[in-house]
Structure formats: structure tokens, C-alpha cells
């Protein structure tokens, strides 16, 4: 009888051990599944934070590589900025990213002609006030990753009179090589011509290439040094072939708490691309221009300076021909007052624009003061006051000016 009890006890012990082992294995399997689910969830959360999509034919709307494609500059190294976003997104970069901008403005001006811009075609009109409400930007951005070495970037602005309509192919991979090649219709650039809260400083308005053109560019980017050169068609009236080019370089660095960036550039012929249709002294000649710029930020405080000048004399009326130049000095401060808010003030001016041979209005100096607040992710509202001095008669040597002012309320949505 004792033997039977012992045998039965052993059998029960073995069965219990087997059952416990099976239960432990099952529990371990469930724990492994939970861990795998947790890892997958963490990856999804990280993808949402960084904007990473899913490799393969996915379509994605929103940020990639920690940035919005529609939030990148259209006129200063956009191809390099797209390469940077794709590099940060890595293998998880989506095949097609969709973004865009919507911008609407309410403008009120004193002593100014009717028009939607501070640089309208007529400018100063004594005693006249004007206002306007208009859609400034309605742009669709498309970034198509063809493979690890190539992408296509389109910008299609459907707003009336918009000039941001471009599309180009870039071949490059910053993880594999610092060299890249871009070709298509886009904005060649020869310097970092920044903007203000809404309007542009005079140095930007006069010297930045104003419209996208067919071009091919070769670039290099490594260790915070960016160099690029572009070849494109001249807009001079007597030139029908590709004869224009730009070269620019910029370098970013940090010293303690100070972040800085310096740059310089050159364009072989700015005629027709900018400078309000001003030509060289000999209208058959090219009109080259150069630019230097610098930025610095210390915590919430930032400073920008920019200087641009033609390297040849321009065509003037009844006086000595001279080179034309423009500069901008700008300061900013960022803080949080319930919402993130940016304050900015700038002073820009030109030299030798009085007496140039052109029918367009010319400007001597300008003050811009503004503030912008991020009301929600992707939504920005700004208010800017601009006061500008316009030459009374652009074809005369006289430096007499008339002043007018414009107040702009801007609504900006990026998606």
C-alpha cells in the first residue's frame, strides 16, 4: 500500500512539474509576444516623432526625418535640404511624401497705391490709403523617393501670380557620398538671402533670383561645409543659349553657446533674374553680382547680416555709372508667451539706385518690425509693419524720396 502511495505521489509530482513547466513556457511565450508588441509600438511612436514612414510603396503626409518638406526653403539649397531629410529618415523614408502650404493675407497701407505687396508697381501715392485681402500661397509639395540614390521634388503653387512652380531630379546619398547632382526647373542661388516675418528685406528683393529656371547643379556637403555650382540659361535679351552660372559656399559652426553660419556667392549674370530689370552699363554685357552673409544665434537671440553688390557698373541716365548694392541688418528674439512667439526687426538699404535706366520704381531704404506666433503645430500667424522710402523719380540723380507704410496680417498653414 505504501508503495502505491509513493508511486502515486511521484506521478502527481511529475505531472505537476510537467504542468508547471508547460505553464511557464506558455507564460514566457506570452511575455515574449508582449515585448515584441512593445518594441513594435515604440517603433511606431518613434516613426511619428521623427516623421519616418514605411519603406516600400507607401504614401505619407506629414514630417519625414524630423521636418516638413513644405517647411524647407524653396530658394536656398532645397535639394540639399531634401537630401538631409531623407538621410535622417533612413531606410524608413516613404516612397512618396505629400505636403504643402496655404497662406492668406490682410494688408492695409497708408500713402500707397492699391496692391497686395509692399513692393507694388506704383508704390507711393500721397494721401491715399489702400487695403487688400488675398490668397498668397496655395502650394502642393511632392517628394518622390525613387531609390536610395535618387528623388524627385515638385512644388506647384496654384495661387494667382505665384512663381514657386518647380520640379527637379536629385541624384545623391549623403550616407555614401558628399557629392550630389540636381537637374530640372528650380531656383539657382548664390547666397542665403533670408526673409523677414512676411516681406523681404531690400537686399533679398533686389538680388535674390526671382523665378525658377531650367538648370543643372553640382553640390558638395560634408562636415558643415556646403558648396554648389549651377549652370542655367541667361535672361539677357541678346543671349539665347546657356551662359549663366552661380557658385556659392557656406559653413556652419558652433563656439560654446554661439551657433553661426557664414556664406558667400557669385552669379555670372543677374540681368533679368533680379535687380528690377536693371542692366550693365553696356546693355549687351553681362552684369555679375556677389553676395556675403552671416548668421549668429545665442540662445533665443539671433542676428543676420547680408550684403550684395554688382561687380560692374549699371546703366544710369545723366551721371557717372556706378555699381549697385544693398544690405540688410536683422535681429530676432524667440520666447514663449502661452505659445511660441518670434519677434524680429530689420533695416535694409540700397546704394546708387537713383538715376538707373528703368521704368520701375526704386527703393532707398526700409524698416520692418514684426512678430509671429505658432498657434498650433503647422499653423503660424504673424503681424508686420513696414515703412519704406521710394525714390521720387527713379530716372533722376536726385535722392529725394517719398515714404509709405504697410501693415500685413499673415496666416500660414504647413502640412
The C-alpha cell at 106 is 490682410
The predicted pLDDT at position 276 comes to 79
Question: Which helix (H) or strand (E) segment is 35 a member of?
Answer: helix 2-50
The predicted pLDDT at position 286 comes to 92
Burial (CB count within 10 angstroms: exposed 0-12, middle 13-18, buried 19+), residue 202: buried
The predicted pLDDT at position 335 comes to 96
The C-alpha cell at 236 is 539677357
Q: What is the DSSP string of 7-21?
A: HHHHHHHHHHHHHHH
- As a residue count, the chain comes to 415
Q: What is the pLDDT along the chain (415 residues), one digit of tens a residue?
A: 443 434 444 343 444 444 434 444 554 565 565 456 555 545 544 544 444 444 445 889 888 988 999 988 888 999 999 999 999 999 889 999 999 999 999 999 999 887 767 776 578 888 999 998 988 899 999 999 999 999 999 999 888 766 678 899 999 999 999 999 999 999 999 999 888 888 899 999 999 998 889 999 999 999 999 999 999 988 887 776 778 999 999 999 999 999 999 999 999 999 988 887 888 888 889 999 999 999 999 999 999 999 999 999 998 876 677 899 999 999 999 999 999 999 999 999 999 988 887 777 889 999 999 999 999 999 999 999 999 999 987 777 777 889 999 999 999 999 9
User: How many CA atoms lie less than 13 Å away from 88 in the CB half-sphere?
Assistant: 18
Q: What is the DSSP string of 109-129?
A: EEEE-S-SSTT-SS-EEEEEE
Q: Provide the whole-model pTM.
A: 0.83
* CATH code, residues 59-414: 2.40.160.10
The predicted pLDDT at position 303 comes to 97
The C-alpha cell at 394 is 527713379
Amino acid at each position: 500500500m505504501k508503495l502505491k502511495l509513493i508511486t502515486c505521489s511521484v506521478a502527481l509530482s511529475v505531472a505537476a512539474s510537467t504542468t508547471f513547466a508547460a505553464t511557464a513556457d506558455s507564460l514566457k511565450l506570452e511575455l515574449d509576444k508582449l515585448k515584441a508588441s512593445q518594441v513594435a509600438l515604440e517603433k511606431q511612436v518613434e516613426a511619428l516623432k521623427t516623421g519616418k514612414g514605411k519603406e516600400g510603396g507607401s504614401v505619407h503626409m506629414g514630417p519625414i526625418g524630423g521636418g516638413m518638406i513644405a517647411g524647407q526653403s524653396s530658394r536656398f539649397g532645397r535639394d540639399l535640404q531634401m537630401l538631409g531629410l531623407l538621410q535622417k529618415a533612413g531606410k524608413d523614408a516613404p516612397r512618396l511624401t505629400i505636403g504643402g502650404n496655404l497662406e492668406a493675407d490682410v494688408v492695409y497701407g497708408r500713402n500707397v497705391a492699391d496692391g497686395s505687396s509692399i513692393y507694388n508697381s506704383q508704390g507711393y501715392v500721397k494721401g491715399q490709403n489702400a487695403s487688400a485681402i488675398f490668397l498668397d500661397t496655395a502650394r502642393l509639395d511632392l517628394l518622390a523617393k525613387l531609390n536610395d540614390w535618387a528623388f524627385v521634388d515638385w512644388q506647384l503653387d496654384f495661387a494667382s501670380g505665384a512663381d514657386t512652380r518647380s520640379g527637379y531630379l536629385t541624384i545623391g546619398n549623403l550616407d555614401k557620398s558628399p557629392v550630389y547632382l540636381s537637374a530640372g526647373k528650380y531656383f539657382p542661388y548664390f547666397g542665403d538671402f533670408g526673409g523677414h516675418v512676411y516681406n523681404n528685406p531690400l537686399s533679398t528683393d533686389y538680388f535674390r533670383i526671382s523665378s525658377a529656371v531650367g538648370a543643372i547643379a553640382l553640390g558638395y556637403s560634408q562636415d558643415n561645409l556646403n558648396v554648389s555650382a549651377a549652370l542655367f540659361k541667361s535672361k539677357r535679351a541678346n543671349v539665347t543659349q546657356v551662359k549663366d552660372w552661380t557658385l556659392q559656399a557656406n559653413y556652419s559652426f558652433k563656439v560654446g553657446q554661439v551657433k553661426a553660419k557664414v556664406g558667400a556667392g557669385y552669379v555670372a549674370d543677374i540681368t533679368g533674374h533680379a535687380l528690377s530689370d536693371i542692366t550693365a552699363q553696356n546693355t549687351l554685357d553681362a552684369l555679375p553680382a556677389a553676395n556675403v552673409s552671416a548668421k549668429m544665434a545665442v540662445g533665443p537671440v539671433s542676428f543676420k547680416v547680408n550684403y550684395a553688390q554688382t561687380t560692374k557698373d549699371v546703366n544710369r541716365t545723366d551721371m557717372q555709372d556706378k555699381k549697385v548694392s544693398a544690405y540688410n541688418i536683422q535681429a530676432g528674439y524667440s520666447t514663449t508667451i502661452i505659445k511660441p512667439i518670434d519677434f524680429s526687426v530689420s533695416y535694409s538699404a540700397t546704394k546708387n539706385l537713383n538715376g538707373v535706366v528703368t521704368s520701375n520704381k526704386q527703393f532707398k531704404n526700409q524698416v520692418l518690425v514684426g512678430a509671429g506666433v505658432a498657434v498650433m503645430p503647422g499653423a503660424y500667424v504673424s503681424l508686420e509693419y513696414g515703412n519704406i522710402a521710394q525714390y521720387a523719380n527713379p530716372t533722376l540723380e536726385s535722392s529725394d524720396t517719398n515714404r509709405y507704410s504697410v501693415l500685413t496680417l499673415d496666416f500660414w498653414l504647413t502640412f
